[in-house]
Amino acid sequence: MFGMSLFGVFEIGTSLVGLGGRMDSGSGLGGSFLSGVLATVVATPCTAPFMGVALGYALTQSAVQSLAIFGFLGLGMALPYLTLSSVPALLRYVPKPGAWMESFKQFMGFLMMATVVWLLWVLNLQTDPNLVALVMVLLVLVALGSWILGRWGGFASGSRSRMAARVSAAVIIIASMAAVLSQVPAPAKAERTAAAPTYSAGLEWEPFSRQLVQDLRTSGKAVFVDFTAAWCLSCQVNKRVALSDSRVVEQFETLGVVPVQADWTSRDPEITQALAEFGRNSVPLYVLYTGGPVTEPEILPELLTPGLVLDALKKVESGSAASR
């Protein structure tokens, strides 16, 4: 719906324009505070694609960290106003309002649509294609409801037309969402025997289990555990940039390091517990056991490069040489 609004099918927040004008006419700290609150509410649809990751991270942290993240978000939003108020000469560099703003808003709508495509891809990995098809039908019906709202629900239409359009749009959207949600199956635990996806050429990734990692370590093998998820963008980048590098693949095979994938796409409880043991509550997390049941694991950075992985694998090589 945000994307449809950005495309101009219907408008979100037009009723707040008058309220904003009344707030701007106010004076004192109270008026400034309310103007900031209104700016935050109105700007939320535009900032959501970029703030989503930060907000999702903040909600998983402690109260102090969450408040710090929200505080810096507020500071970042207020910084342009503070800067321009402190140095009014900079106003000459501020772009003038014009048709470019409408074009930019519509361009942001395409980013929203790209986000929907990515979320559908993640859903396809978590469930069956029939549910994905139902969700796509839901999106079409939501678009229909949004079009009805924009076509006949604006202020230019009569009161009866506006009321009929709003009721029709609400019925279509709510009924379609209820129909799709009723078809969502209960989450089922993934089979441990299923083969893990092979995303690095030449490497066969084993599906994660605590017993498997322990058995491999007991037998003296080095183990590399990739805690990942389909919806984790940095995980996908690390796979393509570092873990699929031919030099990394060759070194894995030469040293006999067993790659294990802990797929947290569906929030597997066993993987959640394993993450907690390392003081983490999200992915990515990369753990390298250099060999032996009592050796301390090596924690790699969240953003990988081939060089970082190869440097970590040198510890496996030196450890193997020392054991011989």
Strand order in the sheet with 223-228: 206-207, 258-263, 223-228, 285-289, 298-300
Spatial contact of 235 and 229, defined as CB atoms under 8 Å apart? yes
Say if 157 falls within a structural domain.
yes
pTM over 0.75: no
User: What confidence score (pLDDT) does residue 17 get?
Assistant: 53
User: What confidence score (pLDDT) does residue 51 get?
Assistant: 67
Higher-confidence position of 38 and 46? 38
Is-cis flag, bond preceding 306, omega within 30?
Answer: no
User: Tens of pLDDT along 266-276?
Assistant: 889 999 999 99
User: What confidence score (pLDDT) does residue 22 get?
Assistant: 57
* Rounded average pLDDT over 317-323: 51
Q: Tokens at residue 288, please?
A: 């390298």
> Do residues 249 and 316 both lie within one domain?
yes
Higher-confidence position of 181 and 86? 86
* Rounded average pLDDT over 78-95: 89
> Do residues 41 and 133 both lie within one domain?
no
What's the burial of 213, exposed, middle or buried (CB within 10 Å: 0-12/13-18/19+)?
A: buried
Say if 201 falls within a structural domain.
no
> Do residues 262 and 296 both lie within one domain?
yes
> Do residues 306 and 210 both lie within one domain?
yes
> Do residues 34 and 101 both lie within one domain?
yes
> Do residues 156 and 264 both lie within one domain?
no
Neighbours of 150 (CB within 10 A): 18
* Rounded average pLDDT over 280-305: 89
Instruction: With CA atoms as reference, report the closest residue to 69 among 82, 80, 53.
Output: 53
Hunting for tokens 């495309």 — which residue is that? 7
Three-state secondary-structure class, residue 237: helix
Number of domains in the chain: 3
Say if 78 falls within a structural domain.
yes
User: What confidence score (pLDDT) does residue 219 get?
Assistant: 92
Q: Does position 160 have pLDDT exceeding 50, yes or no?
A: yes
Task: Work out the mean pLDDT of the chain and round it to a whole number.
Answer: 82
Three-state secondary-structure class, residue 226: strand
Task: Output the domain CATH number for residue 234.
Answer: 3.40.30.10
Q: What is the domain extent for residue 26?
A: 1-107
Tell me how far the alpha carbon of residue 269 is from its chain's centroid: 20
* Rounded average pLDDT over 53-57: 67
Least confidently predicted of 36-50, 211-225, 245-259, 279-293 = 36-50
User: What confidence score (pLDDT) does residue 250 get?
Assistant: 93
* Rounded average pLDDT over 140-146: 92
Spatial contact of 236 and 302, defined as CB atoms under 8 Å apart? no
Three-state secondary-structure class, residue 293: coil
Q: Angle at CA 197, nearest 5°, toward 113 and 138?
A: 30
> Do residues 214 and 268 both lie within one domain?
yes
> Do residues 319 and 230 both lie within one domain?
yes
* Rounded average pLDDT over 3-16: 73
> Do residues 138 and 91 both lie within one domain?
no
User: What confidence score (pLDDT) does residue 324 get?
Assistant: 44
User: What confidence score (pLDDT) does residue 253 get?
Assistant: 92
> Do residues 212 and 298 both lie within one domain?
yes
User: Tens of pLDDT along 212-250?
Assistant: 999 999 999 999 999 999 888 889 889 999 999 999 999
pLDDT band at 208 (very low <50, low <70, confident <90, very high): very high
